[in-house]
């Protein structure tokens, strides 16, 4: 990997009462997002209480799939975590207009990535520590559709 441990330190999570469930879920292979028990809205990044209902939010297991809202392929050598080029996407979890998460899109050629492509979510090691971080993998059908 590209960076030294010292350089990677700035990119490690800083779990607190709000964010710990996300990182613990990731370590266990699950996507855990904050959700309102009353109105069922997802809230990510997490908050203590629902912005609409005001009731306490709970961590909940979210679908391990989604749709790419947008993406960018990073070529600049600036982030020591990953060797460029790498693709970062905003994924809408579950379906279009689902809660948004930021993930790398891995195991594909950057040219295969597209807005609207369906993806599955997996957990991978975060370089520089013991955390795992969600990534997206293009679903097989999407790769077949857009491959030459």
Partner 1 sequence: MDSGQTTDVAVVGIGRTAYTRDLNAARTPLTLGAEAARNAIADAGLTPADIDGCASYAMNDSATFGQVPYAIGVDELTWNLDVYGGGTGSYTSVHSAAMALSSGACSYAVVFRSLCGRSGLRYGDAEGMASLLTHGDQQFDFASGYAIPPQWFAMWARRHQAEYGTTAEDLGAIAVAERAHAARNPHAVMRSELTLDQYLQGRMISAPLRVYDCSLEVDGACAIVLTTAERARDLAQPPVYLRGGEFTWNSGGSWNNWPDFTEMYTAKVAKRFWNRFGIRPADIDVACIYDCFTYTLLVSLEGLGFYDKGAGGDFFREGRATYGGDVVVNPHGGLLSEGYIHGFNHHVEAVEQLRGQAGQRQVPGARTAVVTAGGGPYGGALLYEAA
3-state secondary structure 4-69: CHHHHHHHCCCCCCCCHHHHHHHHCCCCEEEECCCCCCEECCCCCECCCCCCECEEEECCCEEEEE
Six-digit token string for 129: 């520590």
Q: Does 140 bind partner 1 (CB under 8 A)?
A: no
Between residues 14 and 148, which has the closer beta carbon with respect to partner 1? 14
In the complex, the smallest distance separating the C-beta of residue 17 from partner 1, rounded to whole angstroms, is: 10
Given 4, 48, 70, 140, the residue binding partner 1 (CB under 8 A): 70
Three-point CA angle 97, 110, 77, nearest 5°: 105
Q: Does 139 bind partner 1 (CB under 8 A)?
A: no
Number of residues binding to partner 1, judged by CB under 8 A? 43
Q: Does 110 bind partner 1 (CB under 8 A)?
A: yes
Q: Does 10 bind partner 1 (CB under 8 A)?
A: yes
Q: Does 71 bind partner 1 (CB under 8 A)?
A: yes
Exposed, middle or buried by CB within 10 Å (0-12, 13-18, 19+), for 133?
Answer: buried
Q: How far apart are CA 127 and CA 138, in angstroms?
A: 22
Interface ranges with partner 1 (CB under 8 A):
7, 10-14, 16, 18-19, 22, 44-45, 47, 69-76, 78-82, 86, 88, 90, 100-104, 110, 114-116, 126, 131, 133-135
């Amino acid at each position: 990997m590209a960076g030294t441990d010292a350089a990677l330190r700035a990119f490690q999570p800083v779990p607190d009462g709000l964010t710990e469930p996300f990182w613990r879920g990731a370590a266990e292979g699950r996507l855990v997002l904050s959700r309102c028990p009353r109105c069922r809205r997802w809230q990510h990044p997490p908050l203590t209480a629902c912005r609409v209902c005001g009731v306490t939010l709970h961590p909940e297991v979210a679908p391990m799939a989604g749709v790419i809202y947008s993406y960018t392929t990073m070529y600049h050598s600036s982030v020591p975590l990953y060797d460029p080029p790498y693709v970062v996407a905003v994924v809408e979890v579950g379906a279009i207009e689902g809660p948004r998460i930021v993930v790398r899109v891995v195991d594909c050629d950057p040219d295969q990535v597209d807005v609207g492509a369906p993806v599955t979510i997996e957990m991978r090691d975060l370089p520089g520590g013991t955390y795992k971080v969600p990534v997206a993998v293009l679903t097989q059908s999407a790769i077949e559709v857009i491959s030459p």
